[in-house]
Amino acid sequence: MASSNSSWFSRFLSSALRSKPLTRESEILVGTSSGEGLVRRLGLLELILLGIGASIGAGIFVVTGTVARDAGPGVTISFIVAGASCVLNALCYAELASRFPAVVGGAYLYTYTAFNELTAFLVFTQLMLDYHIGAASIARSLASYVVSLLELIPFLKDNIPSWVGHGEEVLGALSINILAPILLALLTFILCRGVGESSVLNSVMTVTKVVIVLLVIIIGAFQVDVSNWTPFAPNGVKSILTGATVVFFAYVGFDAVANSAEESKRPQRDLPLGIIGSLLICVALYIGVCLVITGMIPYQHLGEDAPLSEAFTSKGLKFVSVLISFGAVAGLTTTLLVGLYVQSRLYLGLGRDGLLPAIFSKVHTTRHTPIHSQVWVGFIAGILAGYSVVSACVVTLRLKDKTSSQASAKRISKWVESVICLLTVAFCGFAAGVFFRFGASFVLMLVAVIIAIFSGAALYLRQEYTDPPGFSCPGVPLIP
């Protein structure tokens, strides 16, 4: 019995610690040309719109104002700081997306290749928890906004039951929302039809959303009183940095671009440009909205639920509030659509790797979409209605490139040393953030920063790195 348990554990450990070799592009091209794989239909513009669609939802009209209530006009700096940190992360995504030019999987795939199967599966689990719960939440919000727009029609106002779109609690534990799963089913159907159809819908809705945001910025600019920007940071630097941690997740849609690698026409060129381009556009739009909302009215008077709409209403511009509602519907639609798209591609990647049943690896022969994965994703979201790890993957894969020809013992030693340094940097960053958040002694935060600097210096001085083909993240290992 003991021998059997030992054998099982040995097999498990062997599987859990194995890594995946880089897939050759020719292997994927064979599957695509034979009609068994996904089809390359996405150009650079579609990729940029995909990233914008995933990043900018209704939150641009809400989060900007809610954070401004604490940070004041300094919320602009919060978005700049969060955007700058995301740009550094996006550089890592851009390198890896170029390095894996024709394979779905995103952060899961990068982790599988750089580390091991167990770590990759944990990354996938974390991503799926985020995506599944996020899709259900977004679907409910979208249903609520759609009903709010319908209630603008006089004969429908106050005549739509709450259980249709706003949600109605039953027995104090369940909430019924009929419209949310219907919207999920509709978007799932469009995604199953093909990437071309879903890309067209995403492009139209994203352009609509961006135009509305630009109109809001332009109209609001004429209502700005610059005296409202003084004092710029009424609650000090701490509120600005705290705000940056809150708004960071407003930018993390570029993972969707990385997951579209197998459907990109020119992945090695377009994926890095799509990731970085979509992120920079999002940063510009967020900054514009922040400047407008804090300049229109004093930050103390901003509302909690719909700060931007209330700001325009207070200026007698109620029609802009209606425009914002349409923008919110367009934003939530694209965010939900891209989220469902990314989930199905992640399931497809795991199905191919044998970590999920083979049914998830099947691609429709005429639609060229993973229909089984897509329907499953929509079903789960209907019921419910890893970004720093990518930086570590860049460092580890660069290290592997340089040491692959060295003796095995030395290579393993160098690899273990680099992983320890990466974990130390990550832990120290987390500790410094906790110390800062709860007002601990400045000395503790300084100690954590110094340890992280020494670990980073060890990565820089004791390891050797090579530049990969395609896009190369600058400043490795310091920027990652």
Q: How confident is the chain (480 residues) per 10-residue block, as mean pLDDT?
A: 57 64 52 58 86 80 78 89 84 76 71 78 78 77 80 76 67 66 86 82 88 89 88 86 82 78 80 87 90 87 73 81 83 83 81 79 79 80 58 64 45 63 72 68 76 74 63 64
CA distance 134 to 123: 16
Indicate the domain borders of the chain: 39-385, 392-462
Please give the pLDDT value at position 382.
65
Please give the pLDDT value at position 310.
77
How many degrees, rounded to 5, is the angle at CA 472 between CA 469 and CA 474?
150
Q: Is 231 exposed, middle or buried (0-12, 13-18, 19+ CB in 10 A)?
A: exposed
CA distance 40 to 103: 12
Q: What phi and psi, each to the nearest 5 degrees, are found at residue 168?
A: -135, 125
Nearest to 334 by CA among 264, 261, 282, 293: 282
CA distance 395 to 478: 9
**In the numeric block, which tokens belong to residue 166?**
């706003």
CA distance 67 to 318: 23
**How far, CA to CA in Å, does 306 sit from each of 109, 183, 191, 239, 321?**
39, 23, 31, 21, 9
**In the numeric block, which tokens belong to residue 401?**
């490139």
CA distance 462 to 479: 17
Q: Is 56 exposed, middle or buried (0-12, 13-18, 19+ CB in 10 A)?
A: buried
Please give the pLDDT value at position 4.
55
CA distance 219 to 56: 20
Within 10 Å of residue 19's Cβ, how many Cβ atoms? Answer: 15
* Most distant CA pair in the chain, distance: 79
CATH number of 39-385: 1.20.1740.10
**In the numeric block, which tokens belong to residue 358?**
């083979």
Please give the pLDDT value at position 77.
92
Nearest to 296 by CA among 79, 73, 75, 78: 73
User: Could you give the count of Cα atoms lying within 13 Å of 356 in the half-sphere of its Cβ?
Assistant: 19
Q: What phi and psi, each to the nearest 5 degrees, are found at residue 174?
A: -105, 150
> Which residues are CB-neighbours of 6 under 8 A, at least 6 positions away?
none
Lookup result for tokens 């570029």 = 254
Lookup result for tokens 């009183």 = 225
User: Which contiguous run of DSSP H or E holds residue 372?
Assistant: helix 371-384
- SS3 (DSSP) at 370: coil
Please give the pLDDT value at position 255.
77
Please give the pLDDT value at position 34.
45
Please give the pLDDT value at position 403.
47
Q: Is 150 exposed, middle or buried (0-12, 13-18, 19+ CB in 10 A)?
A: middle
Please give the pLDDT value at position 405.
43
CA distance 221 to 74: 17
